């Protein structure tokens, strides 16, 4: 993982404060209003443990936060797919028709917001294990589980990149290269700067 990628990891949601060295910056993002006081407190503790390289206590809190995110996203991808299979009938202007349309819009909005929120949440947890050099195979497998769910929800270049690097750390080089290629393709397709992903791909292929 290069310095450019490290810097991007510091732009984290306020509920997951990831430390790098002596630096930890809580950033308020679009999901900040969803954060409970308890989650905010956990984020602050994680920041401290990360900053002091206390991986034992960091892991305990990460597992707690990760379990919540995994439970909250169970079946979410399927729900989103089902949303797109059921068109909303805006032509029905009866009271029942308008109520149905409003309900479907509300459900779909919640599904999409939840997918973005928890994909980011799980990605940051997985990336933190790389950032803190947690190389125990059990830790890497746990991070890979979180990363896989984040990619399932949102297959962004950043999420794919982290997933590829975890695969590589676990000795799954061919899968890692294929996933990183997808990250590069996604970045190029979205008009995003792909240099960091291309550098990582070069490293994985050596």
- pLDDT band for position 123 (50/70/90)? very high
159 vs 37, residue with greater confidence: 159
Question: Residues 5-11: what's their mean pLDDT?
Answer: 35
- pLDDT for 41-99, tens place per residue? 888 899 899 889 899 999 999 999 999 989 888 887 888 777 777 787 777 788 877 78
Select from 42, 41, 47, 40 the least CA-distant residue to 20: 47
Distance CA 126, CA 156 (A): 14
Distance CA 16, CA 88 (A): 36
- pLDDT for 182-201, tens place per residue? 999 999 999 999 999 999 99
Q: What per-residue string of b and e applies to 132-143 under the rule 16 or more CB within 10 Å gives b?
A: bebeeeebbebb
What is the model's pLDDT at position 91?
74
Distance CA 19, CA 26 (A): 10
Question: Residues 19-23: what's their mean pLDDT?
Answer: 31
What is the model's pLDDT at position 86?
77
Q: Given a cut of 50, is residue 7 above it in pLDDT? A: no
Q: Where are the beta strands (DSSP E) in the chain?
A: 12-13, 26-27
Contact 162/149 with Cβ under 8 angstroms?
no
135 vs 103, residue with greater confidence: 135
Select from 145, 171, 148 the least CA-distant residue to 159: 148
Distance CA 113, CA 55 (A): 31
Q: Given a cut of 70, is residue 203 above it in pLDDT? A: yes
What is the model's pLDDT at position 34?
65
HSE value, Cβ hemisphere, 13 Å, CA-based, for 203: 14
**Dihedral angle over CA of 20, 25, 30, 31, nearest 10:** 70
Among residues of the chain, what percentage have pLDDT more than 70? 83
What is the model's pLDDT at position 186?
94
């Amino acid at each position: 993982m290069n310095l450019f990628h490290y810097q991007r990891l510091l732009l984290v949601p306020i509920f997951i404060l990831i430390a790098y060295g002596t630096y930890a910056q809580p950033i308020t993002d679009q999901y900040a209003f969803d954060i409970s006081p308890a989650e905010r407190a956990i984020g602050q503790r994680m920041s401290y443990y990360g900053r002091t390289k206390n991986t034992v206590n960091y892991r305990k809190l990460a597992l707690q936060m990760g379990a919540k995110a995994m439970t909250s996203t169970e079946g979410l991808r399927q729900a989103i797919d089902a949303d797109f299979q059921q068109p909303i009938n805006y032509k029905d202007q009866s009271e029942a028709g308008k109520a149905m349309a409003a309900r479907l819009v509300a459900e779909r909005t919640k599904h999409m917001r939840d997918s973005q929120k928890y994909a980011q949440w799980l990605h940051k947890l997985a990336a933190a294990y790389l950032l803190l050099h947690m190389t125990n195979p059990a830790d890497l497998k746990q991070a890979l589980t979180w990363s896989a769910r984040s990619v399932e929800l949102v297959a962004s270049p950043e999420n794919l990149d982290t997933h590829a690097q975890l695969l590589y750390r676990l000795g799954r080089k061919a899968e890692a290269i294929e996933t990183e290629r997808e990250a590069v393709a996604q970045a190029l397709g979205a008009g995003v700067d792909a240099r960091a992903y291309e550098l990582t791909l070069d490293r994985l292929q050596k």
